[in-house]
A and B are shown apart, each in its own frame.
Chain A
Amino acid sequence: MNAERQRAKKKGIAFELNKNAFLYLMAVPGLVVLFLFNYMPMAGVLIAFKNFDFSKGIFGSEWARPIYNNFDFLFTSEQTFRATRNTILLNLLFIACSTLVAVGLALLLNEVRRKLFKKFVQSFTLLPFFVSWIVVSVFAYSIFAFDQGMLNQLLGWFGISKVNWYNAPQAWPVILTLIMVWKSAGYNSILYIATLSGVDTSYYEAAEIDGATRFKQMLYISLPMLKPTIIILVLLAIGRIMNADFGMFYGIIGDNPNLYATTDVLDTFIFRNLRVIGDVGMASAASFYQSVIAFVIVLACNRWANKYQNGSGLF
């Protein structure tokens, strides 16, 4: 009975694949690319437990002895802790400030009635999103360079002596946050503006009649309308908190060890071990450690998102 049902099911698969053969074939290239660049690396995390040998590949290399060999140094290294702390704290700063500015911008733009002005503002604020991190690093250099930088010139006008920004790690959490806000606020605000454009205008009309000021309308109508979007987007961002934007950090900070104290993140730390120092064992252990914690955080955030609003998590 059971076997029969299974046979029927198998026949079902064959039948379905045959019936829609062309449609399934269409999906194949995409599935293959995802398999090669996403699923294979997921299986490849095994490498953290191996004595990696380039000629033997990931699966052919010998197991490490003892099995946690690669992790020994990872967890005794101060740099691991520093990179983890920097990744999480900087990401929290980025999420908080980007969200604040993007929501603020959306709320203000929602009050702007002049179409032309709105368009003009939106295109200017979105422009930074279109340039690469390397270009941003040149922008940063033109502002923060010691001799030529515009910031030091500005300080000079006020009689403040020059600061060597590229040797002042304590300033960089602020600088990086400002850069992140500058680059992403316009883009992020679009999502909020989209939500606000769906709000029934009769709410505002009613509030107007009751004598609510612009500011009060923003605070008591628009902001509550945005709340679900804000919460979901923040939760999704927190899900990625273990992953720093490699392009940003390696582009702006590069190989400047003076700033590592506050700016070395897991991704740059792993990259350095892999491509500069060439310690594949250490790099793969760190990479594994990052993936595992990220995995747990993603699951947790998704649960919260679903709990907050059913179906708003990713799965």
Chain B
Amino acid sequence: MTNKLGRLRLSDALIYLSVFAFSIVCLLPFLMVIGGSFTDELEIQAHGYQLFPSHFSTQAYHILFIQWKVLVNGYKISTIVTVVGTAASVLICAMLAYPMSLKRVKYRRFLSVYSMLTLLFSGGMVPWYIICVNYLHLKDNLAALIIPYLCSAFNVFLIRNYFESLPEELSESAKIDGAGEATIFFKIIMRLSTPVIATVSLFIALTYWNDWYLGVMLIDSSDLQPLQLLLRSIVSNIMFLKTSDAAAQMLSTKGLVPSEGIKLATCVLTIGPIVFLYPFVQRFFIKGIMIGAVKG
């Protein structure tokens, strides 16, 4: 009996320990980048990035803030794209999902198949690019960062599955009471569907905030660079240090530009909003994936 108890405890400990170790591994790179961004530049040059900086320094952030206009612009573009894109996209997806979910819509099957095919087949990068640039003139404008992602069939199906779980009598009785289709959709259906709408909004917002494909493909102007692209150009040192007054100022005062520290500091500022919002949205997210998992 004691033997069995001992074994049980051992297996428990093993389970907890391995799961704990894996979650630390998941977290470690975040800590490394945060630690590295506060490491003194001389220290970085001599010993490399440090998880726990021996010489704490906020130098890299100071330089970044001298260039605050570029940063603020990046934040602005990313925020506009995320907010406008998410609002529009959720609405468009829900509006497509609604008729799909109703039995009284005779051609709902056509709508589903039409959307499904876009999940399965793709024309590839080149025709997509030429259609965007040549036919739709989505080049070097804000719309290019928003419009291509407005409707994703994956999200449409997530919403449709939820709508289907609502009883159709609900809208039918409202109709008998004289409510129009618009009233039914916006006042009844959308309100009853807050869980799925919240989750899909989160999916979409994350897509817009983290995306840099549209930026790389369709944006050349540096004024329209979203945050992710800005991070990339700072990391690859293309424009930031060579052209910046900040660097010149730094060279004259300290004789050293903290180029390595800047990369990590920018990275920290990019993930800042996500890490800050994460505790609030994370549970929604897990719940949402579970909703989707019930019928894939």
Contacts and interface: CB of A to CB of B under 8 A. Distances in A.
Interface string A9-24: 0000000100010111
A168 to B, nearest CB: 18
Given A20-B105, A42-B121, A125-B22, A138 B128 contact: no
Given A42-B122, A143-B32, A112 B15 contact: yes
Interface stretch (B64-72, B192-200, B247-255, B267-275): B267-275
B23 A124 contact: yes
A291 B122 CA distance: 6
A47 B126 contact: yes
Nearest to B291: A194
B119 A314 contact: yes
Contact of A131 (B115, B210, B263): B210
Contacts, number: 291
Given A23-B98, A133-B212, A16 B32 contact: no
Nearest to A122: B286
Interface in B1-37: 7-8, 11-12, 15-16, 18-20, 22-27, 29-30, 32-33, 36
Nearest to B51: A150
A190 B23 contact: no
Interface string A179-190: 000100111001
24 contacts: A29-B95, A29-B151, A33-B151, A36-B131, A41-B131, A44-B123, A44-B130, A45-B127, A47-B127, A112-B16, A124-B26, A127-B278, A128-B26, A134-B235, A138-B263, A138-B264, A139-B29, A145-B49, A150-B51, A182-B26, A185-B22, A190-B293, A194-B290, A239-B120
Interface stretch (A76-84, A103-111, A199-207): A103-111
Interface of A is mostly: helix
B212 A251 contact: yes
A284 B126 contact: yes
B181 A130 contact: no
Interface in A90-122: 105, 108-109, 111-112, 117, 120-122
A57 B49 CA distance: 50
Nearest to A191: B293
Contacts of A243: 122
Smallest CB-CB A-B distances: 3 pairs? A44-B127, A41-B123, A30-B96
Interface of A: 16, 20, 22-24, 26-27, 29-31, 33-34, 36-45, 47-48, 52, 54, 57-58, 105, 108-109, 111-112, 117, 120-128, 130-135, 137-139, 141-143, 145, 147-150, 152-153, 182, 185-187, 190-191, 194-195, 213-215, 232, 239, 243, 246-247, 250-251, 254, 267, 270-271, 274-275, 280, 283-284, 286-288, 290-291, 294-295, 298, 302, 312, 314-315
A155 to B, nearest CB: 11
B36 to A, nearest CB: 5
B121 A130 contact: no
Contacts of A121: 19-20, 22-23
B275 to A, nearest CB: 8
A23 B97 CA distance: 10
Interface of B is mostly: helix
B206 interface: yes
A284 B51 CA distance: 46
B176 interface: no
Contacts of B182: 22
Given A33-B150, A135-B267, A291-B123, A58 B98 contact: no
A243 B128 CA distance: 15
B26 A125 contact: yes
B154 to A, nearest CB: 11
Interface string B190-216: 000000000000000010011111001
Contacts of B128: 37, 41, 44
Nearest to B261: A148
Contact of A139 (B33, B129, B278, B282): B33
B77 interface: no
B156 interface: yes
Contact of A16 (B106, B135, B264, B293): B106
B92 A30 contact: yes
B105 A148 contact: no
Given A141-B263, A246-B213, A23 B181 contact: yes
Contacts of A57: 130, 134-135
